Structure 1
Amino acid sequence: MLKQRNLLFALFLMTCLGALGQQMPVHFSVHQKQVNPGEVDVVFTAKIDNGWHVYSTGLPADGPTSATLHTEKAEGAEPMGKLVARGKELNVQDNIFGMKLRYFEKSVTFIQKYKITGKTYKIKGYLEYGACNEEMCMPPSTVEFNYKGNGPADAPETTEKEADTKEETALTNADSTKSEQATALSLSDSTQNTGSETTVASASELWKPVIKELETFNKNQGGESKSLIYIFLMGIVGGLLALLTPCVWPIIPMTVSFFLKRAKDDKKKGVRDAITYGISIVIIYMALAFLITAIFGPQKLNDLATNAPFNIFFFLLLVVFAFSFFGWFELRLPSSWGNAIDNKASSTTGLLSIFLMAFTLSLVSFSCTAPVIGLLLVQAATSGDWAAPTVGMFGFALALALPFSLFALFPTWLKQAPKSGSWMNMIKVVLGFIELAFALKFLSVADLAYGWHILDRETFLALWIVIFGLLGLYLIGKLKFPHDDPTQHAMPVPSIMLGLVVLAFTIYMIPGLWGAPCKAVSAFAPPMYTQDFNLQDNSVHAQYTDYDEGMQAAARAGKPVMIDFTGFGCVNCRKMEGAVWSDPQVASKLTKDYVLISLYVDDKTPLKSPIEVKNSDGTTRTLRTVGDKWSYLEQMKFGYLAQPFHVTVDNQGKPLSGSFTYKEDIPGYLKFLDKGLENYKK
């Protein structure tokens, strides 16, 4: 019993530590280093979690938060030069800010030198820095320092002198801190009733933490399971398509007949062998998925969705697969591999022989199944869920193996199954066009990351219009490939009907060249802000940038509130605004159905006086700017500390539909807003 309790406690502790690690992806330590009697260094050393980066010093004012040192007190000392950064600095062009962003990954060290001018010295201040990953940004964070020591023996006596900063009015006692905190962070209770019919909630109620309520909403959304179900269904579709290719379909009747003839006197044994054969196929492809997950690891698979080099590799891989389906060349494994496995299967008996026969199928059908498997694994690996490759491959293998078992159970179905023919080559070509279209999606991710501007939204749509237009012409018989059947003059009716649907989809995308939302492809196309020529202006601007003021206005108007925790230097916030808020439906709901409050966590407007507050972990923090105030609100009330962070609340500040972080998912965002409106009306 005691061991069980210890185990539960350890799991609980690991969970808490994991949550803290996610909230604080940058871990700073600070110390002073006496270089010589007349000089001292303040050294800030950071360890940065995988996937995150910390911005360097001296970025332009209209960019992300630069690493900046603020000296609040310097008695007997004065700063020497600027803050110096040491580490492997990366330079990446960002098309949102139109500048090169310099930042550090893994680790960085910042050093500020001070010249000692007195016999003793006191230095106090803080380092401000910004940190982001591919999906979110932390609010500007601080690392404080307060050091004293002895200077040269022949230096003059130290005189007390405060640094020329607006933060020098640091609080001196706890009572005044609590008083000023209450004044600055909340409204006076006298504003509780404004004389209107709607009662405005008190300030203390508006700032009340709702972390547990928000967690309950987010748990009930069930997004992860839906994602895995989607990957599984995608695997089923991929398996069915691979089944209909020339490498697999003709093998089915031969294999089933072999099992049934091998057990003439025992029909049940033939059925058992065919079912075992199907199970072996599932095991083989599942093993492939497990191998990929083991090689890359869960963390790497989660990073693939936004990793530019990997996306370039995926783009090239899918292009190669597409060309192989077009018949320009054939992907083949060495024939000796298949022969060796086949000979081994013939010389053995029992379950091992059946498993080796299934393995032979996997090798022989490689030229047809590899492109489908490649597309499936790429999509699964970049879904952000480490279990997705295994789930997707299970769906693929199940669909591929099921016909072998079904035809063994019902042999008469074999006579009704369609014969091999030119229709299977048509399926390969269609898959080639689909692979080529999906390849552009991965090139788009790399293009956005590096700021190349070679695949902006209109360029992407133009290429998709060409690809699907050619696919439509192929399906109705107006386009031919060299390996198509030359004797086939009329296309089958299903092919012509599918071709008309594809051509209609092509025409649907054309208005997107002028800024139409084209919601059916919004999940694949680059964000709207990358489009140079856009006739539609659906930009959304917040009505309020002050939490208390906006909440009062919403209560008087009888509307719910959408709080947008954002930042002037938040790259992903601009992406969300350009890709999601620009949608006409989203823009209409935000401007008409909600009161939109945008709170900028990097707003440098100073508060009337600094305020010392306590964090949830018991540590103290000094709020110096308006941005500090909003980041504290986000952490204290909602238990989150990154941007973008969107949450819908009622007029008492209670959540209505969970939270929404960076995801360019217009249907998901509309569902998020609709759920908030539905709960508000209740």
Structure 2
Amino acid sequence: MTNRIKLLFSFLAIGISLCTFGQILQPVEWDSKIEKVSETEYDVILKASIDKGWYIYSQKSSGGFAPTTIFEFKNKEGNYETVGETIEPIVPPKYDKIFEEDVIKFDVLVEFKQRVKLLNPDLNLIEVYVEYQTCNDEKCIPGDYTFNVTLDGSEIQIEEATVDQRSQQLSAELDLNIKGWDKYKAQTVEEQSDFSIFILGFLGGLIALLTPCVFPMIPLTVSFFTKSSGDSKKGMFNSILYGVFIFLIYALLSIPFHLLDSLDPGILNNISTNVTLNIIFFIIFIGFAFSFFGYYELTLPQSWSAAMDSKANRIGGFIGIFFMALTLAIVSFSCTGPILGTLLGSSLTADGGARQLTMGMSGFGLALALPFTLFAMFPKWLNSLPKSGGWLNTVKVVLGFIELGLALKFLSNADLVEHWGLLKREVFIGLWILIALGLVLYLFGKIKFPHDGPIAKLSKIRITTAILCLAFAIYLIPGLTNTKYANLKLLSGFPPPLFYSLYDKTSECPLDLNCYKDLEVGLAQAKQQDKPILLDFTGWACVNCRKMEEQVWSTSDVYEILSEDYVIISLYVDDKKKLPKDKQFQYLRQNGTVKAIETVGDKWATLQTINFQNNSQPYYVLLNHDLELLNTTNAYEPDADAFYDWLKIGLDNFNE
């Protein structure tokens, strides 16, 4: 197993730590130097300076889940060759709290040395790429760096990105020079527990097990492993290994999204609010729904599964079992694909992004893998499995109705960001009611789809599910009204916000509170009213923002203190409204790249990153008129009492 693959596996173990990607952290700085050994040999020395409390890891695997540091010497034209291995300091293993094992890791300062031998005497530049992870006792951050090392010690002239004087001036205006960081250290509250995301993915996997593409495979596969080997213990081991490979295949599918996230921490937020992508997801989910209804099947090319099956039979052993697991993933795509698409789309349009996707995919893979392992361990259980039949198609159709409801969420995201007014809150809820009632009619046999057979008798499960769907439709009905009961707290974040309504509202702010969507106007009002400021970084497509507003802000104590004692400035980081031409500019990031500030959302997202080193939403800051912090910053806090206490401390500090 190569180090690069080991690094990919390590991402699975640290999915929970990736919640800090919202913060812009760079705990490691790299430098390089060259030492001449002879006319043809040089030592390339790569030095890492590491912030206090952080570590990077050895190139050598500990045998557990801890990551390794990987150096890649770019030498496509064969101008030199490396001599021996890259040398690192010899240090004893230390216990690591993140990975709960003894590992070799380095802190403060570490040097890696690689000797190279020239094959081309005219060579002067050596390019080295390093992949690494830096961790403290609470979290890990992946990183990479490219060295351009000259053998004669000269500096490489790299053209630096520049912006004009006007852009520099407008960029400077985004720096608010927030005061009080020495007194109040920023805190980040986890938006949603990774365990809950894992459980949702696990439930999705359990649902996938009950589809016609997967369920019949369980007894066939388990019987194959337990009987073909002739050795019950070996058959059990192979079946368990088969389940492990299924889990890894699905978990590893999320890795590319972590790489996107590490390149630009805001990229997944941009994906989640991108109008085009949300519309594409809407169309795809509609396609998934009609596939589940039985009008057609979505399958991967048959040649893929045939090729995988052929390799599994030809190779055998561990690798053969892996290809068998991959074959299952491919042939079951028509049933698992829509569920995976739901997981992918929901994760990318949520605030946890890649982290949530890893946890969800891991849960999905575990649920799919468990039966193959458990039934191999306890083969008598196979006799208790229900027989395949029409009920499997019923499961698919029910999932089709669910896909329709989820499709509307993506269309709603695009509608909110662009302010089209197509799916106001009441329209959205009304469509969900129709979908729920359609599912009720189907379960009672009043609606048929292509693969449905005659229903001799309604089963208890079918009747119970229909009653639950009817109850859900009834629960939604108050959402169509203009009353206090319209706040459907159990669904906060899924329908459009309360103020995005067909009814006339006193303001376009959450819960009819007074708020300002421009920073300068809000600051002026705060000074005039002599009130502290709640700076609310939010988003039109932000699920957790809606949960905070409709479940926490709506409680009596929080609502009262917000309405009477604070000036709310809500800055929507995904607002696609174009800035006036004279207000558009180029922002030069610290990493040397340039970001075009063209929309209102671009401006507020960049302002948040510059001043608070954070780009996740919701994100709350309490300030006085002089832009001094009144309390620690806050994020997703579902405990209304805790959020009220936080606001109260800020108010008391303002009054003092």
State the TM-score, normalized to the length of structure 1.
Answer: 0.57
Which residue pairs with 1:58 in the alignment? none
Alignment of 1:143-292 (within 5 A): 210-212=180-182, 214-215=184-185, 218-219=187-188, 221-223=189-191, 226-264=192-230, 266-291=231-256
* From 466, 471, 489, the counterpart of 1:504: 471
- Check 1:443–1:284 CA distance in 2 against 1; reply closer, same or farther (3 A cut): same
CA contact (8 A) 1:562 1:647 kept: no
Pair 1:302-2:273 in alignment: no
For residue 564 of structure 1, give the secondary structure of its aligned residue in structure 2. Answer: strand
1:388, CA displacement in angstroms? Answer: 2.9
Partners of 1:229 and 1:303 in 2: how far apart? 25
1: CA distance, partners of 2:30 / 2:344: 41
- Closer, same or farther: CA 600–243 of 1 in aligned 2, 3 Å: closer
The aligned counterpart of 1:26 is none
Tell me the residue number matched to 1:407.
Answer: 375
Instruction: State the partner residue of 1:597.
Output: 566
- State the distance in 2 between where 1:462 and 1:236 align: 30
Conservation of the 8 A alpha-carbon contact between 1:565 and 1:644: no
Contact kept, 8 Å, 2:443 with 2:463, in 1: the verdict is yes
For residues 504 and 400 of structure 1, what CA distance do their matches in structure 2 show? 30
Map 1:26-175 to 2 at 5 A.
129=170
Partner residue of 1:62? none
Contact 2:440 2:469 in 1 (8 A): yes
C-alpha deviation, 1:257, in angstroms: 0.7
What do residues 3-46 of structure 1 show as CA deviations (whole Å, max 9, x unaligned)? 99x9674558999xxxxxxxxxxxxxxxxxxxxxxxxxxxxxxx
Shift of 1:678: 9.6
- 1:462 maps to 2:430: yes
> Is the CA contact (8 Å cut-off) linking 1:476 and 1:500 kept in structure 2?
no
SS of structure 2 residue aligned to 1:215: coil
> Counterpart amino acid of 2:512?
S
On the 8 A contact 1:311/1:442 being kept in 2, the answer is: yes
- Structure 1 residues 655 and 466: alpha-carbon distance in aligned structure 2, compared to 1, 3 A threshold: same
CA contact 1:475–1:495 (8 Å) conserved in 2: yes
Aligned equivalent of 2:634, options 649, 653, 659: 659
Give the alignment partner of residue 439 of structure 1, picking from 407, 412, 432. 407
CA distance in 2, matches of 1:375, 1:331: 15
Residues 587 and 353 of structure 1: CA distance in aligned 2, closer, same or farther (over 3 Å):
closer
Q: CA deviation at 1:512?
A: 1.2
Query: What is the RMSD computed on CA atoms of the aligned residues?
Result: 4.8
Structure-1 residue corresponding to 2:323 = 356
Report whether the alignment pairs 1:378 with 2:345. yes
Determine if contact 2:492/2:551 at 8 Å carries over to the other structure. Answer: no
Give the secondary structure class of the aligned counterpart of 1:386: helix
CA distance in 1, matches of 2:618, 2:478: 30
1:592 Cα shift? 3.1
Does the Cα contact within 8 Å between 2:532 and 2:651 map onto a contact in 1? Answer: no
Secondary structure in structure 2 of the residue aligned to 1:565: strand
Which has the higher mean CA deviation after the structures are superposed, 303-312 or 227-236? 227-236
Q: How far apart are the structure 1 equivalents of 2:637 and 2:646?
A: 14
* CA shift in 2, pair 1:563/1:645, >3 Å: farther
Tell me the residue number matched to 2:513.
540
- Note the C-alpha offset of 1:321: 0.8
Deviations 1:317-360 (A, max 9, x none): 11111110011111122323323322332233211221221122
Contact 1:247 1:367 in 2 (8 A): yes
User: Does the aligned pair in 2 maintain the 1:331–1:367 contact within 8 Å?
Assistant: yes
Deviations along 1:399-432, one digit per CA (max 9) or x if unpaired, are 1011101000000110112221222111111111
Structure with larger Rg: 1
Helix, strand or coil for the counterpart of 2:634? strand
Indicate which of 297, 309, 321 corresponds to 1:342. 309
In structure 2, what is the equivalent of residue 453 of structure 1? 421
Counterparts of 2:614 and 2:236, CA distance in 1? 59
Letter in 1 for 2:397: V
In 1: Cα distance, 2:407 partner to 2:389 partner: 29
TM-score of the superposed pair, with normalisation by structure 2: 0.59
Mapped contact 2:535–2:622 kept (Cα < 8 A): no
User: Aligned in 2, Cα 1:429/1:477: closer, same or farther, shift over 3 Å?
Assistant: same
Contact 2:254 2:354 in 1 (8 A): no
In structure 2, the CA distance between the partners of 1:572 and 1:485, relative to structure 1 (3 Å rule), is closer
Structure-2 separation of matches of 1:518 and 1:239: 28
**What's the CA shift string for 1:182-235, capped at 9, x where partnerless?**
xxxxxxxxxxxxxxxxxxxxxxxxx9954255436x24x333xx3433332221
Separation in 1, partners of 2:541, 2:288: 36
Once residues 311 and 323 of structure 1 are traced to their aligned partners in structure 2, the CA distance between those partners, rounded to angstroms, is 19
Q: CA deviation digits over 1:539-590, x for unaligned, max 9? A: 2248997768978xxxxxxxxx8732379xx997999999965779627334
Alpha-carbon distance in 2 for matches of 1:649, 1:480: 59
SS in 1 for 2:452: coil
Distance change >3 Å, CA 292–CA 214, structure 1 → 2 = same
Q: 1:269 to 1:505 in 2, by over 3 A?
A: same
Say which SS state the counterpart of residue 454 (structure 1) adopts. coil
Residue number in structure 2 paired with 1:45:
none
Counterpart for residue 558 of structure 1: none
Distance in 2, matches of 1:208 and 1:319, equals 46
2:501 corresponds to which of 482, 507, 531: 531
